Amino acid sequence: MLIFAGVLLFLPERCMSGPKKKILFIVNPVSGVHHSRKAVLAGLAADTLDPERFEWEIVFSESAEHVKELSRAAAEAGTNIIAAVGGDGTVNQVVKGMHGSNSVLALIPAGSGNGLAHHLGIPSDIGESLALINKMNVKPVDTVSINDDLFVSIAGVGFDALVAKKFARSGRRGFLSYFRIVTNEYNYYRPRKYKLMIDGQLYHREALFVSFANTNQFGYNTIISPSAQIDDGLVDVCIVKKVPLIYAPHVVGLLLTRKIDASDYVEVIKAREVSLTRKKNKVVNLDGEPVKLGKALHVRVNPLSLSMIVP
Ligand SMILES: Nc1ncnc2c1ncn2[C@@H]1O[C@H](COP(=O)(O)OP(=O)(O)OP(=O)(O)O)[C@@H](O)[C@H]1O
């Protein structure tokens, strides 16, 4: 018995760590602008991941719905880590597929705005983000339900959703395309009236857009709610008025220096549960993707409902 205990003590840690963890990489082939970066994933994974602790498979998705199906099937099969290789839209579908399971989300940023990755400080270099998997620093984070749907980073109505719709239709990714749409549409956009019930308190507001921020940004490091935390059990309701063009440089300056919540045009209210009603069933921006969810929106935080690998 003593000899057996002695042998156990001197066995290398790896021999005692049990079966290898299974990873499924779900790659969105069209996210982001540099598609060739994804072609190097297989080689980088082989160079970076510890083969004694992990085994992995890489699949390319055929559509957004396919991303969700792949993720759901992997979670049901007990895959330990499901890695989203894409932007916020890809993360959104991966999370919908695995939500409520024991699988852990990893993120290899390969989108355009990469809002969640920027918020968490996940490196945009594929090799460096793969290396985070070896460290297995797993943290629970919040997700947010909106009607029967779900988001991880940000959702919203108004101008922000219009931009998401035009961006999706443009067929082009990247900041320049996004910026062009914002500047083309801004002058013509008429603020809308919204009725909000925020944790039991009623607000009537006319706004350019209303965003529900679980992370601090839209992507591209455009910070709409500097104090937003992904694990605080709260969603930041950001109510943004239309800024007259002469004040736009000042407000853009605040946006770029992470101080937009100091602007008179921006009101941020932290909440657990929000109901929003509006006149028309216009599109909603859901993690950067335009979707129709009905005139009335019910937003509720699911605290610490997702396990994620973070730096
Ligand atoms: N084969 C596919 N697999 C997954 N998604 C696809 C596929 N083809 C088209 N799409 C679409 O890809 C779009 C972009 O995905 P994603 O949001 O990950 O990238 P992005 O917009 O470039 O990055 P970000 O959202 O971070 O700005 C989504 O609108 C999705 O519907």
Using one digit for the tens of pLDDT, what is the confidence trace for 30-66? 887 776 667 789 999 999 999 999 999 999 999 999 9
Average pLDDT over residues 87-102: 97
Q: Which architecture characterizes domain 2-136 according to CATH?
A: 3-Layer(aba) Sandwich (3.40)
Q: Six-digit token pair at 64? A: 């957004």
- What's the pLDDT tens digit per position in 257-278? 899 999 999 999 999 999 999 9
pLDDT band, very low/low/confident/very high, at 16 (cuts 50, 70, 90)? low
> Is 113 a pocket residue for ligand 1 (Cβ < 6 Å)?
yes
The number of residues making up the chain comes to 311
- Does ipTM top 0.85? yes
- Look at residue 201 and give its three-state secondary structure: strand
pLDDT at 178: 84
> Is 89 a pocket residue for ligand 1 (Cβ < 6 Å)?
yes
Q: Which residues on neighbouring strands pair with residue 299, listed in sequence order?
A: 146, 274
Evaluate if residue 12 carries a pLDDT over 50. Answer: no
Which one of 90, 129, 166, 175 would you pick to mutate in the ligand 1 pocket, going by the greatest count of ligand atoms within 8 A of its CB?
90
Average pLDDT over residues 77-101: 97
> Is 86 a pocket residue for ligand 1 (Cβ < 6 Å)?
yes
Residue 269 burial (10 A CB sphere; 0-12, 13-18, 19+): middle
> Is 64 a pocket residue for ligand 1 (Cβ < 6 Å)?
yes
Give, in degrees to the nearest 5, the angle at Cα 72 between 70 and 76: 115
Evaluate if residue 242 carries a pLDDT over 70. Answer: yes
What is the topology classification, in CATH, of domain 150-303? Tumour Suppressor Smad4 (2.60.200)
Percent of the chain with pLDDT over 90: 78
> Is 30 a pocket residue for ligand 1 (Cβ < 6 Å)?
yes
> Is 31 a pocket residue for ligand 1 (Cβ < 6 Å)?
yes
Evaluate if residue 7 carries a pLDDT over 60. Answer: no
CA–CA dist 115, 96 (Å, integer)? 17
pLDDT band, very low/low/confident/very high, at 18 (cuts 50, 70, 90)? confident
Task: Note whether 219 and 31 are within 8 A (CB).
Answer: no
Distance in Å from the first CA to the final CA of the chain:
42
The CA 89 to ligand 1 mean position distance, Å, reads 5
Atom of ligand 1 nearest to the CA of 86: 18
Evaluate if residue 228 carries a pLDDT over 70. Answer: yes
Nearest CA to ligand 1 atom 1: 62
pLDDT at 174: 77
The CA 29 to ligand 1 mean position distance, Å, reads 8
Evaluate if residue 6 carries a pLDDT over 50. Answer: no
Nearest CA to ligand 1 atom 18: 87
- What's the pLDDT tens digit per position in 274-300? 999 999 999 999 999 999 999 999 999
Is 113 or 267 the better-scoring residue by pLDDT? 267
pLDDT at 170: 85
pLDDT at 38: 72
pLDDT band, very low/low/confident/very high, at 24 (cuts 50, 70, 90)? very high
Is 177 or 65 the better-scoring residue by pLDDT? 65
pLDDT at 35: 67
Evaluate if residue 11 carries a pLDDT over 60. Answer: no
Residue 110 CA: distances (Å) to CA of 28, 87, 91, 160, 176: 8, 6, 10, 22, 17
CA–CA dist 6, 258 (Å, integer)? 56
Evaluate if residue 10 carries a pLDDT over 50. Answer: no
Average pLDDT over residues 250-257: 88
pLDDT at 36: 67
Evaluate if residue 2 carries a pLDDT over 70. Answer: no
Residue 230 burial (10 A CB sphere; 0-12, 13-18, 19+): buried
Evaluate if residue 84 carries a pLDDT over 80. Answer: yes
> Is 127 a pocket residue for ligand 1 (Cβ < 6 Å)?
no
φ/ψ region of 54 (left if φ > 0, alpha if ψ in -120 to 50, else beta) reads: beta
pLDDT band, very low/low/confident/very high, at 17 (cuts 50, 70, 90)? low
The pLDDT mean for the chain works out to: 92
The CA 275 to ligand 1 mean position distance, Å, reads 28
> Is 28 a pocket residue for ligand 1 (Cβ < 6 Å)?
yes
The CA 92 to ligand 1 mean position distance, Å, reads 10
The CA 198 to ligand 1 mean position distance, Å, reads 31
> Is 136 a pocket residue for ligand 1 (Cβ < 6 Å)?
no
The CA 116 to ligand 1 mean position distance, Å, reads 14
Could you state, in order of their start, the residue ranges of all structural domains in the chain? 2-136, 150-303
CA–CA dist 153, 219 (Å, integer)? 9
The CA 76 to ligand 1 mean position distance, Å, reads 24
Which one of 28, 152, 287 would you pick to mutate in the ligand 1 pocket, going by the greatest count of ligand atoms within 8 A of its CB?
28
pLDDT at 264: 93
> Is 68 a pocket residue for ligand 1 (Cβ < 6 Å)?
no
Nearest to 194 by CA among 185, 184, 181, 203: 203
- What's the pLDDT tens digit per position in 115-139? 999 999 999 999 999 999 999 999 9
